[in-house]
Amino acid sequence: MDDGFRGLSLTNTLTRRKEEFRPLDWADTGRAADAKQVRMYVCGPTVYDFAHIGNARPVIVFDTLYRLLRHLYGEAHVRYVRNITDVDDKINARAASEHPDLQLNEAIARVTAGTTRQFHADIAALGALPPDVEPRATDHIDAMKTMIETLVDKGNAYVADGHVLFHTPSMPDYGALSGRSLDEMIAGARVEVASYKKDPTDFVLWKPSTMEEPGWSSPAGIDGRGRPGWHIECSAMSEVHLGPVFDIHGGGLDLIFPHHENEIAQSCCAHGTDRMAQVWLHNGFVQVEGRKMSKSEGNFVTINDILATTRIGGRSWPGEVVRLALLKTHYREPLDFTQARLEEALRELDRWERMARAAGLSATPEDAAPDTLFLDALKDDLALSAAFARVHELFDGGEAAAALASLRLIGIEPLRADALDAASLERIAERLDLLKRKEFTAADAIRDALAAEGILLKDGRDAATGERTTSWERRR
């Protein structure tokens, strides 16, 4: 009998050990085989600013896991949900400061729409597949209010001063995910002090809104308008799209407390379950050039900075280079994002491309399958260091097709198309005209712009006519 085990093991933050992964649907003997799904939820962005390189890491880590799950179980049997948080006080503050001439709700709509578009463009450049569902918090307000009212009815939440708060002592094992006691949480965590709280660790499920702020009719018999707290959003969205209990919940290490801890409290108490997800996965922190990333340190780097500007190393970096750089360290370990790391990833991709072309390949053959040992490494808690070591062995052993198929499985394509787009060819022709007219400054500007895009120009002379010519080579 197929119990769903495909040899995959994952390190569960909740149990603090590596475990064999068996999806919940496979234990349901009454569920038809074609209806069984692996269900995964990952916390997505709060869309008030461009996503930074720390935000990129969970996107790439869980995209890699998503790809592996689709390979192991079939695309139709994996459901990946990653949300958009589009109601939040950070969004309100950014909208008010960026568009002071607009009504706040109009300013918020402009900020969230633009930031969401940029997020999608940036992570697509990193090779991330779209999730199966991308719910927005503002589309799930009714589900949040229903859950809040259930928690109030069960005695896990209470109304105070126009707020609804979750009462953490009502859940005996609150803190199990982070391993913190209530006293430790009070002493060392971000606990908001408020006179209307029954316990210092109680957290907001719903808060009142002014007439200028985003708001909806309030739950639990409260008069007036209000808006949800952050934690309740993910509990409601995951329930709507994956059910009260699902397989995998993922996010960055910084979300364990309080966000994921509070999600568990809300969801388990509302549904009367002993768990929200059976496996909790968290990726490690990201530093930049050996320091914690912050604007005050001058090392705050967005994905767009890396892809579209010359801020790091005097050049922009292709998405596949950034993706490889993020995957070279095990997902649970801290990662230092440096120029040297990008340069190493660039050299590695270029080497793989040269070896693939030397083997006569311009694409991965359709009948090529990922290597078995490569897959074994991935199935061991995404042990990508071992997986990449196997890729080198495959290339060195003359098995370039298997190496390419293995890399493609995790979203890395060493081979690039040789053709240039029409706009780039026009700029090359324009530069030649500028050189003929001895307008060297303008010609150099075009050359430098193309170089930043990975297109290197080499000038020469036609042997027969003596006319100036330019050849080009695409480089990452």
330-to-60, 65, 327, 387, 464 alpha-carbon distances in Å: 12, 13, 7, 11, 56
Name the CA dihedral angle for 371, 376, 380, 385, rounded to a multiple of 10 degrees. -40
| Cis status, amide bond into 219, omega within 30 of 0 | no
> Could you give the angle at the alpha carbon of 299 between the alpha carbons of 297 and 305, nearest 5°?
150
CB 460 within 8 A of CB 471: yes
For residue 462, the model assigns a pLDDT of 62
Q: What does the block give as tokens for 168?
A: 């953490």
Q: What does the block give as tokens for 395?
A: 């290339």
For residue 165, what is the enclosing H or E element? strand 163-166
For residue 423, the model assigns a pLDDT of 77
Which residues make up each annotated binding site? Answer: 43, 234, 259, 263, 295
For residue 33, the model assigns a pLDDT of 94
Matching residue, tokens 């229903």: 146
Q: What is the pTM of this model?
A: 0.88
What is the SS3 assignment for 85? strand
Name the CA dihedral angle for 96, 89, 307, 68, rounded to a multiple of 10 degrees. -150
Question: How many CB atoms lie under 10 A from the CB of residue 256?
Answer: 18
Cα atoms in the Cβ-side hemisphere of radius 13 Å centred on 4: 23
CB 8 within 8 A of CB 20: yes
For residue 203, the model assigns a pLDDT of 96
Name the CA dihedral angle for 432, 435, 440, 444, rounded to a multiple of 10 degrees. 20
Which residues make up each annotated binding site for ATP? Answer: 295
Q: What does the block give as tokens for 315?
A: 């050049």
Q: What does the block give as tokens for 396?
A: 């060195």
For β-strands 163-166 and 216-217, DSSP reports them as unpaired
10 Å CB burial of residue 258 (0-12, 13-18, 19+) is buried
| Cis status, amide bond into 130, omega within 30 of 0 | no
Cα atoms in the Cβ-side hemisphere of radius 13 Å centred on 236: 26
Which residues make up each annotated binding site for Zn(2+)? Answer: 43, 234, 259, 263
Q: What does the block give as tokens for 442?
A: 């303008």
Closest CA to 50 of 109, 129, 121: 121
pLDDT in tens, the chain (476 residues): 699 999 999 999 999 999 999 999 999 988 999 999 999 999 999 999 999 999 999 999 999 999 999 999 999 999 999 999 999 999 999 999 999 999 999 999 999 999 999 999 999 999 999 999 999 999 999 999 999 999 999 999 999 999 999 999 999 999 999 998 767 666 555 556 688 999 999 999 999 999 999 999 999 999 999 999 999 999 999 999 999 999 999 999 999 999 999 999 999 999 999 999 999 999 999 999 999 998 888 889 999 999 988 889 888 899 999 999 999 999 999 999 999 999 999 999 999 999 999 999 988 888 899 999 999 999 999 999 999 999 999 999 999 999 999 999 999 999 876 556 677 778 888 898 888 888 888 888 888 888 777 777 877 776 666 777 776 766 67
For residue 180, the model assigns a pLDDT of 81
